[in-house]
A and B are shown apart, each in its own frame.
Chain A
Amino acid sequence: MKKRLLLSLLTVWVALTFTFVLVRQMPGDVLHTLALQLQNTHGLAYAQAREMAKLQICYDPDEPIFSQYCTYLSNLAHANLGRSTTYRIPVTQILASALPWTVFITFLSAGFSFALGVTLGFWTAWRRGTWLDPALTFYATLTQAIPDFLLGVMLLLVLGVQLQWLPLRGAYSAETDPGFNLPFLVSLGQHAILPVLAFSIPAIGSWALSAKATATSVLGEDYLQVARAKGLKPWRILRDYLGRNAIVPLISSLATNLGALLGGSMLIETLFGFPGLGYFLAQSIGTRDYPLMQGLFLLSTLAIVAGNLSAEWLSRRIDPRSRR
């Protein structure tokens, strides 16, 4: 495990170095744009406007990139991710505010889609050859083919606009006060349904197909024949014999997927006005806000690495064979 941890640290370092260089190679020079604006609005010469712009956004692209990188690493060692050039507040403050929302929505979506998808997959494998089989494949193909954004708009139109069952936007009603109080919690639940559905509807099909495949490979095992011969109820065989053995590789995938999901979905969050990482990622890319972009990419890298580590840890806990 120590070796694995070291490898993970190395992965994080390589990823952050890569993103550090990459974001600076993106087309678009925020300093140039701001300098042109200042030149026009303040009646300055370009050189003066550029100096003023450097001061305003605390970023100097003329500084050698290696020197910038050293400063970045040094600050990182002190848990200082820098100051957003757009919002002029510490990046950590933005991440601390947005992360809980993204964690909330992604964990809820992943948990919901995993539970439903895996149950559906196992049941389909158990009843293979019935109408469930093609129906599941059709559902999975259809929902995977619809782009996330389009699915989100459709949900918004049907459940929010036409039926008016669910609130259209936000994480909670502006009329409630965030905290441990019933109106807020109810509002939180209502507002989570649409984004959770937008994330989950395609994921359910995907989990169900994977679960069906792993369950089918377990179905021929002797212990299942024994369970059947003992006259156990199908639901119990499904849960205790089939499920327990087939779920191991799926749990590993779930942990990895959670890590990737934490990067936030820009489109879904933008569509539902959800205050997560996705919104800030979209804004930071648009405005070339390097410190914020780097902070978000770093968080995403850490989440994926942590997801992989927990997948490995979980599979060791669940499946004794993997400890050998």
Chain B
Amino acid sequence: MKIALALLALGLAGCAGQATQPGILCTAGEWDMPPAYHGNPWAPGGVGVARSFVFEALFDYIPETQKLVPRLGRSYHEEGHRLIVELEPGAVWHDGHAFSAQDVVATFQIGFLKGMEIWSYLDRIEAQDEHTVVFHWKIDSPTNRLLALTEPIVSPAHLNQQHLAVIQALPRGGQTRDLEAEGARRELLFAERPPLPIGTGPFRMRKVTASDMVLDRFEGYYRTQALKGVRIARWGRNEVIWSYLYAGQLDAISPACPYDVAQEILRRNPSLSARKPSDMNEMGLVINCRVKPLNELTFRQGLAYGLDRDAIRQLACGPGDTSQGLSLGLVPSQAEHWLGPQFSKGLTRYNYNPDKARQLLVTPERELEIMAPAGFTDLALLAEAAASQMTKLGVPASVRLVQGELYAQLLMEGKFDLAAVFGAQMGPTVHPSTSEGRFFARDAQLEKACGLPRNSQAEQWVADLRVSMDADQSRELCTRLARLQNESVSFIPCFEKRLLVFVQEGPRVTGWPAPDSPLWSAAPLGVERLYCSLAVQGYLRPAP
């Protein structure tokens, strides 16, 4: 009885501890639990989900309007092969040290060790003065500007002096790189484990526990920003996040969520609403073309005709957009932009046609297996729906859920029949070279997965696309790659994924942009980054 009373007393005391705090943005994410947690943004594990609140880039990018919103950068201009950026003079690091052009240089120099893509095009970077930084390009590329301007600045020069001189002296040429020296320096860099990260962002990390990250408003921030802080709950599992949403404990979050669960959450918590921006990727099934009967083009075509993608989309990703029977290596909503209005001309369109599918399909000698990554609700549901439809078509199929690390390996080694994957992905620069590169670039993940012979011509087209500054040439290259991808039927796209971003108006935070605001198009570049950007731009404010 005494124990029961004590538990009841503790429980009731717990009620008082859950009072809402206006001005605190609550979201969820993942990070390494202490004692594994550390504040080194370069080392594995790193800063975790707090990265987007602690660090900031020179500019924030809004894909829909193609607008760059100033953060640490005040303005920029281009002169020949140079990009010149004027920096915010009032910015300071969380330890009180003034922010300068040297910090930008430090970030990109150290980024070389981590294989930053920009170094494929960047010759050097220099601090012209305290608040001006200059990027010197060795190769022009349509993605150069975004790669430079949207990279978070994470390395205070005053804390990284010991690395910078050594890294700057490392040879950069493809054949002359000193890998041993790079590796040794990388190890030294990774070995640094400050307890908390130091950034220039509007929020400063105060505490990390196994279940929560506590960030407070950085009072030295160079702009007025109304939110008092951020609390981040550990993600754990999707079911946990749904529970938190139900309870009104989160103000913004984007979990994978079956349609009926989303509807129930919205019904039970009326202060929540949903935003559905495109995630700039396409989900579908990659086919292992090494194994029988999937090595037969007609069989693959039969599958492409036989799958009801709209039914799959309804089950796996309610807000998504059903693919229209084309596999272009591009996200469908971007197809017209990059391929022109006649983009489907001459391409085989695999619309849902079960009769035609039955003509093309043969009953295999064994049950086919669709692999899906455990923990990815949408991909797992996609696999389930596809397996069920294939079985009805006379092609028995089952689903195998595989853990993350192993999943990637089995995919690359071709140890599967079909696998639920992200296909076309536009990446942070929203450029088709990233998307087509996933199918055709050297060591492309999806090309390795499907096992079709390496196509060196397509590899060259992707390489050309990466550096093409001519719109017509880019369109021509995209068209060739799209045709090649569509006719090979190595990937069956099911739907363009749309994020389901739940936002809560009050009781802590208010001011979320309307569902049709172009600002939401930045969500696929990092949804936490967007929340932080909205706070800095003055949209988010404490609930009254």
Q: How far is the CA of A32 from the CA of B409 in the complex (A)?
A: 8
Q: How far is the CA of A145 from the CA of B510 in the complex (A)?
A: 44
Interface residue? A273 (CB, 8 A): yes
* Any B CB within 8 A of the CB of A55: yes
- Looking at chain A, what size class is its interface with the partner chain? 35 or more
- Which one of A36, A165, A187 contacts B12 once the chains associate, using CB atoms below 8 Å? A165
| Contact, CB under 8 Å: A161 / B233 | no
Alpha-carbon gap, A86 to B46, bound state (A): 11
- Asked if B408 is an interface residue, CB under 8 A from chain A, the answer is yes
Residues of chain A contacted by B33 (CB below 8 angstroms):
98, 275, 279-280
A186-B13 contact in complex given A40-B443, A157-B246, C-beta closer than 8 Å: yes
- Does A15 lie at the interface of the complex (its beta carbon under 8 Å from any beta carbon of B)? no
Q: Is B234 close to A, CB under 8 A? A: yes
Contact of A86 among B34, B44, B174, B246 (CB under 8 A): B44
The reply on A11 being an interface residue by CB < 8 A is: no
A212 contacts chain B at the CB level, 8 A cutoff: no
Assembled-state Cα–Cα distance A39/B11 (Å):
53
Q: Beyond A168-B243, A170-B209, A190-B11, is A87–B32 a contact (Cβ under 8 Å)?
A: yes
In the complex, how many angstroms separate the beta carbon of A69 from the nearest chain B beta carbon?
Answer: 24
In the complex, whether A166 has a CB less than 8 A from a CB of chain B is: yes
**Cβ-defined contact, A88 with B190, below 8 A:** yes
Closest Cβ of chain A to B116, distance in Å, is 9
In-complex Cβ contact of A41 among B35, B114, B179, B237 (8 A): B114
- A157 and B210 within 8 A (CB): no
Cα–Cα distance between A52 and B185 once the two chains are bound (Å): 12
Q: Is the CB of A270 within 8 A of B236?
A: yes
Q: Is B239 in the interface zone, CB < 8 Å from A?
A: yes
Interface-facing stretch out of B59-67, B90-98, B399-407: B399-407
A164 touches B247 (CB 8 A): yes
9-residue interface stretch from A42-50, A121-129, A132-140, A244-252: A42-50
Among B13, B15, B403, contact of A164 (Cβ-Cβ < 8 Å): B15
**Chain B residue at smallest Cβ distance from A30:** B405
A168 contact set on B, CB distance < 8 A? 233, 240, 243-244, 247, 249
Q: B347 contacts the other chain (Cβ, under 8 Å)?
A: no
Whether A169 contacts B10 by the Cβ 8 Å rule is no
Question: Chain B contacts of A225 at CB under 8 A?
Answer: none
Determine if B187 and A193 form an interchain contact, defined as CB atoms under 8 angstroms apart. no
Are B405 and A170 neighbours in the complex by a CB distance under 8 Å?
A: no
Nearest B residue (CB) for A187: B17
Q: Note all chain B residues with C-beta closer than 8 A to A171.
A: 209-211
Q: Is the CB of A286 within 8 A of B246?
A: no
A153 at interface, CB cutoff 8 A = yes
Q: Cβ of B412: which chain A residues have Cβ within 8 Å of it? A: 36
Tell me whether B214 and A164 are in contact (CB under 8 A): no
A112–B243 contact, CB under 8 A? no
Chain B residues within 8 Å of A306, by CB: none
| B233, A273: Cβ atoms closer than 8 Å | yes
**Given A156-B240, A166-B11, A89 contacting B115 (CB threshold 8 A):** no
What residues of A have a CB within 8 angstroms of the CB of B246 in the complex?
A: 157, 161
Residues of B within 8 A of A288 (CB): 405-406
Roughly how many angstroms separate A275 CA and B193 CA in the complex, as a whole number?
Answer: 20
Whether B212 sits at the interface, judged by CB under 8 Å, is yes
In Å, the complex CA distance between A289 and B185 comes to 23
Q: Which residues of A contact B176 (CB under 8 A)?
A: none
Instruction: Given A42-B115, A190-B10, A193-B11, verify A170-B211 contact (CB < 8 Å).
Output: yes
Bound complex: CA A293 to CA B447 (Å): 33
Contacts of B270 in A (CB 8 A): none
Nearest-neighbor residue (CB-CB) of A161 within chain B: B247
Q: Which of B10, B236, B243, B404 contacts A160 (CB 8 A)?
A: B243
Contact at B187–A279, with CB atoms within 8 Å?
Answer: no
Find B43's partner among A52, A88, A93, A98 (CB 8 Å cutoff): A88
- A159 surroundings in chain B (CB, below 8 A): 11
User: A94 at the A/B interface (Cβ < 8 Å)?
Assistant: yes
Residues of A within 8 A of B406 (CB): 27-28, 288
Q: Is the CB of B210 within 8 A of A286?
A: no
Contacts of A48 in B (CB 8 A): 179
Closest chain A residue to B12, Cβ basis:
A165
The answer to whether the Cβ of B231 comes within 8 Å of any Cβ in the partner chain is yes
Measured between beta carbons, the chain A residues less than 8 angstroms from B120 are 43
Closest to A44 in B: B179
Is B43 touching A33 in the complex (CB atoms < 8 A)? no
Q: Are A52 and B211 in contact (CB under 8 A)?
A: no
> Nearest B residue to A48 by beta-carbon distance?
B179
CA distance A187 to B17 in the complex (A): 9
- B220 interface residue per 8 A CB criterion: no
What residues of chain A lie closer than 8 Å to B80, measured between beta carbons? none
Task: Report how far A39 CA is from B179 CA in the complex, Å.
Answer: 13
Q: Min CB distance, B185 to chain A, in Å?
A: 12
Contact, CB under 8 Å: B405 / A28: yes
CB contacts under 8 Å to B, within A156-210, are 156-157, 159-161, 164-175, 186-187, 189-190, 193
C-alpha spacing A159/B236, complex, angstroms: 19
| Sampled A-B contacts (15; CB under 8 Å) | A38-B115, A86-B45, A87-B45, A156-B243, A160-B243, A165-B15, A167-B17, A169-B240, A170-B212, A171-B211, A189-B6, A275-B211, A279-B33, A279-B210, A280-B33
Known: A56-B186, A89-B35, A190-B11. 4 other contacts (CB 8 A): A87-B44, A97-B35, A193-B7, A271-B240
- Return the 9 tightest CB-CB contacts between A and B, nearest first: A170-B211, A275-B210, A273-B211, A41-B115, A174-B212, A87-B36, A28-B406, A190-B14, A161-B247
